[in-house]
Structure 1
Amino acid sequence: MVMDLQTANRLLDDLAEELEIPDSRYEAAVRSYNSVGNWLRRSASVFAKTHVDVYSQGSFRLGTAIRPVTDEEDYDLDIVCEIFYDKELVTQEWLHRQLGEEMSAYAEAYSMTAPEHSNRVWTLHYADGAQFHMDVLPSVPDGRRTQVMPVSGYQTSDGTSVAITDQNHPNFGVRSRDWPVSNPKGYADWFVSRMRVARQRRLASLRERASVNVDQIPDYKVKTPLQSAVQILKRHRDMRFKDSPELRPRSIIITTLAAHAYQQEPTISEALVSILRRMDQYIETNGDQSRIPNPTNDRENFADAWSTNKELKDAFYDWLDTARLDFNAAAQELDPVRFTDILAPRMGRRLVEASTAKSRLLLESQRNSFRPVGPSLVARATAALVQLFDAPHRKPVRWATPPGGSTGWVAISSATCHPKGFRPFRFRSDGPPLPKRASLIFEADTDVAPPYRVYWQIVNTGQQARDARGLRGGFEEVSVVRGHLKREESTRYTGSHSIQCFIVKSDYCVARSEPFVVNID
């Protein structure tokens, strides 16, 4: 069934709403960092005679925090403890150690496990029911002069920049004016400035509908399309790199580029398409070097790790290409079933199905007004095919469907296994497991008249392929020899795998075969 454009926009609105963390989590976060602040200001604290400011940073402060992928994962709350010392009178090491001792005492007083230690922060783990941990960053006022950042044109001042501790810094153990610098308050102010018009529009809408003064509404409830778009992109990133988290693009990179690219679009779907189309324009390149400057501290490059690990840079651009394909298709999709099938591999099927539940009900209520469509691929698939269809590394189809739908058909007509030292045999889709180190030959038939181009998509799963960095999910073009559609593969990795044939003509996908599932023992 086809729905109107308003319903299509609602699909992405509902997806963003499903990603939102409950109000109770925000309230618990505020209580928790206020509690830490009160602890550091108590009379027995080593910082009792010094002004202490404790505040959140990162996604909680920006309104871009998302629900964890699973119920077993924690929310990550980042806070800054700004201790008003002159940084020339203390060392990073002393400040880091003193705050660590205070956090250890705090954890003991509240029957928590001892805090964990890392280069920059101390991590407090709350009880299982709280489902979050807190990264506590020691800092002092930076005291640098006001300056205007050349990239963003945003003004940062002495009152927002902080000097932080870092065990890897060369001056960690000595008194020096040279400390690592951060500016979470300034960054948050810059982020808000990038959505000022959309925020005013949202406040006006709340003012019309709410019976309370909008000044009494917490910031986290004033959600703009930019914030929702960042939340959706972060979840897409998390799922895409579920099997290789070490390559996952940093949230600060996605957030910064999205904020630069946002043009005050009024809907989430428009914001997503616009952001994804433009966000890489804000990456500075000089030969092999890439820079994504902190808009409030030009000395900080969020992409500095790309220069020493090219895989991180490649992973970002691979993710961006995938996101563009996924969300361009989803933004044009008017059917919640197909919308689910498009985004489930990169957003999580449970999340997307929950977000489309309301639209599915609306669709059912309008059943007599619209033409029916066939069941989704996943709805009629085997368990193995569902796993493959939802594989996060499975690339989305990059060709459009011709107006009016597919114009031909293609089907995998035969599959033959050639084990080493044994006679070849035919096998069926999702049949008994095949032996390792065998050759496979697939043949397909089509009624599409030449000329055309043939692509095969192989998607594999399993720990062996994952460990060997052998996960596949892209499209590979093959030549057509005398009208024969043929593909040779091998049984290298244990697990369930699929192969699918696509016929492309004039940049349209005019036919695609059903996925053929291959199980390997």
Structure 2
Amino acid sequence: MKNNLNRYTEQELKKDELLAIIASNLELDETRKSQMKSAYKAVNDILAKDENFFKGYTISVYAQGSLLIGTTIKPLAGKEFDLDIVLHIEDSFLNHTPSEIYDELYRVLAEHETYRPLLQEKNRCVRINYNSDFHMDILPGCIIMKDNTRLMIPLDKKRIFWSRTNPKGYFEWFNEISERNRTSFLLQERYGMLLEAKIETEDLPTDLYLKTPLQRTVQIVKRYRDLYYQNKDTERTPAISSIVLTTLLAQIHAGSHSIQEALKDAASKLKGLADDFKYKGVKFTVYNPVDDHEDKNEREHFTDSWEERHYNSFVGFVEDFQRKLNTFLGNSTNEFNYKDLFGNGYYKENIQALVKLEESRKGNQKLAALLAGTAYTSADGMINMSTGVKNGSHGFYAES
């Protein structure tokens, strides 16, 4: 649907590309992702070799959360990335207790000389503190029924009762929302035109144009969340968890075609929730969207621990985010506005990447003709300068 591109001015297009470049550079690099995958595959191999408990079961260890849905961001300096992993035991939870599966997971890792000094007991998961910039939280769970992705996991640190979860179901839910309108995403269409005109983009992040507006929105909002809370007393002003932010952003996403539209819409709707609490005392609830238990009291509840201070913290965060986002999108991009939303890192690199892309376009006559509406498409679908059907202007560089 290339006509969709005519709605955007040159400045709007550039800003969407800049936002995509920024989000790409905020993301964990492929080397780190590969290291993390190797880490949890190694844990899977160790558990599968256990002769005392896990030998009799089919198990799998896999990522959940941001690594699974494609919304990772690098931690701020001095912070670690929290890698969330599921130990999926293919046996009914009715055959076990929550403490049993937790204790067996801990036992196997504690018996291994590599992992023994790195282990830490958490409420529901076992943490491995690697000597690097990430730690891995392993959450054990048993199936509810065969051929279903839902799991039962320990409810809390007492590990007496079960709680429901569905990491793979959450991925499918998020992905379905994220992929809506894929063929008419502004940067997706832009990518198609770059391929047609053979623009050299190998020095840019490979997923620059391919991540969805929702994925980029989640990454950008999470980055600002980290900056907003980094110097605050999180006892008084608790930071908003990634699962709450991600779920809210997906639930309110309206299928925007550009990152800017998605961010503006998200900020506006989050502000509506904040205002409902601030002025009316209405407290929103965030349930796991793929937990379909008939009794709401039994559903996985991401805000079940929220108190008054959490909602007040949410109000402050959302008001600040919307104000700074509007400043960034409403004015010419500069370093000051950039730092307000994204911090000090990568400003020059991001601007240089955008400039390089601009220069590549200017030097490509075929693309310039395509954008100006003076190129032709031949009967075999090839873009050229003289024969076939004349293409319309795509408005990328229309004067605003």
TM (norm. structure 1) is 0.57
- Larger relative CO (CA 8 A, sep 6+): 1 or 2? 2
Gaps spanning 5+ residues in structure 1: where? 145-157, 212-217, 366-521
Name the Cα RMSD after superposition.
Answer: 3.4
1:191 to 164, 171, 174: 174
2:154 aligned with 1:165:
yes
Give the structure with the higher percent helix. Answer: 2
Indicate how the Cα distance of structure 1 residues 164 and 132 shifts in structure 2: closer, same or farther if over 3 A, else same. Answer: same
1:64 deviation in Å? Answer: 0.8
**1: distance between equivalents of 2:189 and 2:39?**
31
Amino acid at match of 2:180: V
Is the Cα–Cα contact under 8 Å of residues 257 and 280 in structure 1 kept in the other structure?
no
Shift of 1:167: 4.3
Checking the alignment, whether the CA contact within 8 Å between 2:83 and 2:134 is kept in structure 1 is yes
Q: How far apart, in 2, do the equivalents of 1:179 and 1:220 lie?
A: 41
Q: CA deviation at 1:281?
A: 5.6
Quick one: structure 1 residues 22 and 270, their matched pair in 2 at CA, closer, same or farther if it must change by over 3 Å? Answer: same
Pairs within 5 Å for 1:100-499: 100-106=106-112, 108=113, 110=114, 113-128=117-132, 131-143=133-145, 159-168=148-157, 172-173=159-160, 179-199=162-182, 209=195, 222-244=210-232, 245-246=234-235, 247-279=238-270, 289-297=283-291, 299-306=299-306, 309-334=307-332, 336-337=333-334, 340-359=335-354
Cα deviation 1:359-402 (Å, max 9, x = unaligned): 5789999xxxxxxxxxxxxxxxxxxxxxxxxxxxxxxxxxxxxx
Partner of 1:62: 69
Give aligned-pair identity as a percent: 27
Consecutive unaligned residues of structure 2, counting only runs of 5 or more, are: 1-9, 199-205, 361-400
**Structure 1 residue 265, shift from structure 2 partner:** 1.7
Q: Secondary structure at the match of 2:117?
A: coil
Equivalent position SS for 1:76: strand
Amino acid at match of 1:256: T
How much has 1:221 moved relative to structure 2?
Answer: 9.3
Aligned partner (choices 41, 60, 77) of residue 83 of structure 2: 77
**Aligned pair count?**
329
- The whole-number CA distance in structure 1 between the counterparts of 2:45 and 2:153 is 21
| Corresponding residue for residue 43 of structure 2 | 36
Q: Please tell me whether Structure 1 or Structure 2 has the larger radius of gyration of its CA atoms.
A: 1
Superposed CA offset, 1:223-246 (max 9, x none): 111111101100101111111244
Matched, 1:97 2:103: yes
C-alpha distance 9-289 of structure 1, shift in aligned 2 (>3 A): closer
Higher strand proportion: 1
Deviation at 1:194, TM superposition (A): 0.7
Shift of 1:159: 0.6
| Structure 2 contact 190–209 (Cα < 8 Å) conserved | no
Q: Residue in 2 aligned with 1:22?
A: 29
Q: CA deviation at 1:205?
A: 7.4
8 Å CA contact 1:112, 1:126 repeated in 2:
no
Q: Which residue identity does 1:44 align to in structure 2? A: E
For the residue of structure 2 that corresponds to 1:55, the secondary structure is strand
Moved more, 224-233 or 82-91: 82-91
